[in-house]
A = this chain, B = another copy of it.
Amino acid sequence: MVGQVTPSTPPRSDSAPGAARDSSSAAARETAPEAGRDALPEAAGAARHGARDAAPEALAWDVDNCTIGRAMAILGEKWTMVVLREVFTGIRRFDDMRVRTRIPRQVLANRLAALVGHGVLRREPYREPGARVRHEYRLTEKGFALYPVLVALAGWGDRYLADPQGPPIRFVHRDCAAELHVEVHCAAGHPVTDRRDVLPRPGPGARRRRPEL
């Protein structure tokens, strides 16, 4: 997905330390992946104890064109992802979604219209015998591209929010029926399992923020 993007900025020297995982170094550990905060590894614990040597690096950057913000402007209503879950699990008709989710009629209509407007869903006519033409909702390519988001969300929800008996939906591999999950990989092919190995960096569209203070 983003694997082909060539790094446009070299790694910088403000990496926080890869601290040990034991609880005695909790402060340093928490600091690590939230990179850009501390100018030098040695400063990792400074914020805890008072003096603020420098503003966080990320403060220098504008977020007006942030794609996470834009994604959440589409997906960031509680019901939107639930509507998508319905379509992903084979529920495509308004009344069926109503029955399952109990989303208020007008809210559901609004969410569906918004998802169609954003090109995530498309409307497809159908007609029951003897009834008027109605519409089903189907995923577009842009909608299908949300599968990793849905699987990632489900993975987190399953881990922290499931009932004792487990989650009600599983996503499985058609070929082998084994459970699906998302893995973070880098474009060079390495699996990235340690959160400390993830660094946020200004991307090609990063713009310096105009100071207002």
Interface residues of A (CB under 8 A from B): 1-3, 5, 7-11, 15, 18, 30, 33-37, 47-52, 55-59, 61-63, 65-82, 85-92, 96, 99-101, 124, 126-129, 136, 138-139, 142, 144-163, 165-188, 190, 192, 195-207, 209, 212-213
Contact = CB atoms under 8 A, between A and B. Distances in A.
Nearest to A30: B138
A90 B201 contact: no
B90 A35 contact: yes
- Main SS of chain A's interface residues? mixed
A85 B67 contact: no
A96 B49 CA distance: 18
Contacts of A81: 68, 71-72, 76
Given A167-B205, A179-B187, 15 more contacts: A2-B154, A2-B181, A11-B172, A30-B138, A35-B90, A55-B96, A56-B92, A61-B100, A148-B182, A158-B203, A163-B205, A168-B205, A171-B201, A172-B200, A181-B186
A167 B90 contact: no
Given A155-B1, A180-B198, A168 B34 contact: no
